[in-house]
């Protein structure tokens, strides 16, 4: 489709997760014109938190590592405190029959880092540095059409936004659900639909307590289980330890989880109790975040768990789409640290370098 209608913005960013927000930040600081649309009623994408009092506990990614400098730099820029994941104490192991034993073992998360306020603190800080008048929430994009001067985006409800260039800052499989006119090349669509969505099959249960009582009993908060429903558990307490929190990754397949939400919550509380004692049976708050059930995160193709970390990177088939008018910048296509929060920042940084003169 060709159209000579006027341009509303130079760069339209589709997706208000960490990649999209970081790209908007790069463009803002370079004096570039942009707009951002996000399908959800909130910013952050796969970064979300459980708020309890004045504290926030991660429902999505929680950790980063010393060799990931972009998150550290943003934390420093915005004055967000960084602290090390608590791993001191013994690890619990749960056998298939539900029996529990504890050992002093090296924690796989030793040396990992967290942010005070969780990863949502990073999202909130980036958002606060942007002009909110340039951001639209509750604005899913249904179609994109190539024009003479750029690209026209059709939002749910029929509203249009015209831009010189469009950046897809959302999971590739979600991006594949947009109607493209003209259609993207077969190789590009194949790339979009076959790149696994990081976290697409994940579910996480977070339990908040008045204090991390398990530490008094010599537990690190780490646990591994062959009984379930959670297969891996860690301490998720606030930086000052008040309130305390535990979180676990669920091992129940996504297709089963979608019909068992209430029962899973009760089963998670029972498991926390088996592992860490009677006090664990009475959390102040409990939340189960099932990312496979999030329509703007995962598709049915993402419901099967990943056996290993995918070899993410920028696929050649997704370069120079529509003569450079359409691009993809998200953690799954990052030049480094793909699949991690650092990868989201890496993807945004690389895209900004191509967009900023």
In-domain check, residue 184: yes
State whether 172 and 289 are in the same domain: no
Number of domains within the chain: 2
57 domain residue, yes or no: no
Q: Are residues 185 and 212 in the same domain?
A: no
CATH number, domain of 315, equals 3.50.50.60
Same domain (yes/no): 225, 349: no
**CATH (domain of 302):** 3.90.660.10
Q: What's the whole-model pTM score?
A: 0.95
pLDDT for 1: 44
What is the rounded CA–CA span in Å between residue 305 and residue 80?
33
Q: Are residues 205 and 296 in the same domain?
A: yes
Q: Which H/E stretch holds residue 74? A: helix 69-78
In this structure, are 282 and 143 located in the same domain?
no
From CA 260, how far away is CA 1, in angstroms rounded? Answer: 46
Distance from C-alpha of 198 to C-alpha of 312, rounded to nearest angstrom: 10
Closest C-alpha among 43, 51, 48 to residue 22: 43
56 in a structural domain: no
Give the pair of three-digit tokens for residue 112.
């990992």
Q: Which two structure tokens, joined as six digits, stand for 154?
A: 């059709």
Q: Which domain holds residue 42?
A: 1-46+69-78+120-196+310-357
Assess whether 6 and 145 both reside in one domain. Answer: yes
What pLDDT, on the 0 to 100 scale, is given for residue 2? Answer: 44
Mean pLDDT per 10-residue interval, the chain, length 357 residues: 70 98 98 98 98 96 97 98 97 96 90 97 98 98 96 96 98 98 98 97 97 97 96 97 96 85 89 97 97 96 88 96 98 97 98 96
């Amino acid at each position: 489709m060709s159209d000579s209608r006027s341009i509303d913005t130079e760069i339209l960013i589709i997706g208000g997760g960490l990649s999209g927000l970081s790209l908007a930040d790069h463009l803002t600081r370079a004096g570039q014109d942009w707009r951002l649309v996000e399908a959800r009623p909130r910013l952050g994408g796969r970064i979300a938190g459980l708020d309890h009092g004045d504290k926030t506990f991660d429902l999505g990614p929680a950790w980063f590592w010393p060799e990931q400098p972009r998150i550290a730099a943003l934390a420093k820029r915005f004055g967000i405190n960084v602290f090390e994941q608590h791993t001191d104490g013994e690890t619990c192991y749960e056998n298939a029959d539900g029996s529990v034993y504890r050992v002093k073992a090296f924690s796989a998360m030793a040396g990992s880092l967290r942010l005070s306020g969780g990863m949502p603190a990073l999202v909130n800080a980036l958002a606060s540095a942007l002009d909110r008048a340039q951001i639209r929430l509750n604005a899913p994009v249904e179609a994109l059409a190539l024009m003479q001067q750029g690209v026209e985006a059709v939002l749910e409800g029929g509203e249009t936004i015209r831009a010189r260039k469009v950046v897809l800052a959302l999971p590739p499989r979600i991006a594949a659900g947009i109607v493209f006119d003209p259609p993207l090349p077969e190789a590009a669509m194949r790339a979009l639909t076959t790149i696994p969505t990081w976290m697409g099959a994940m579910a996480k249960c977070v339990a908040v307590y008045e204090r991390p009582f398990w530490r008094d009993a010599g537990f690190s908060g780490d646990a591994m289980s062959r009984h379930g429903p959670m297969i891996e558990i860690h301490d998720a307490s606030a930086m000052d330890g008040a309130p305390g929190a535990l979180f676990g990754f669920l091992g129940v397949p996504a297709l089963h989880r979608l019909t068992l939400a209430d029962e899973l919550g009760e089963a998670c509380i029972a498991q926390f109790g088996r592992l860490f004692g009677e006090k664990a049976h009475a959390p102040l708050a409990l939340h189960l975040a099932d990312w496979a059930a999030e329509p703007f995160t995962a598709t049915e193709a993402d419901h099967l768990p990943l056996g290993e970390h995918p070899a993410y990177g920028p696929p050649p088939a997704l370069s120079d789409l529509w003569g450079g008018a359409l691009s993809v910048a998200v953690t799954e296509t990052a030049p480094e640290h793909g699949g991690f929060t650092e990868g989201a920042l890496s993807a945004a940084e690389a895209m900004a370098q191509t967009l900023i003169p």
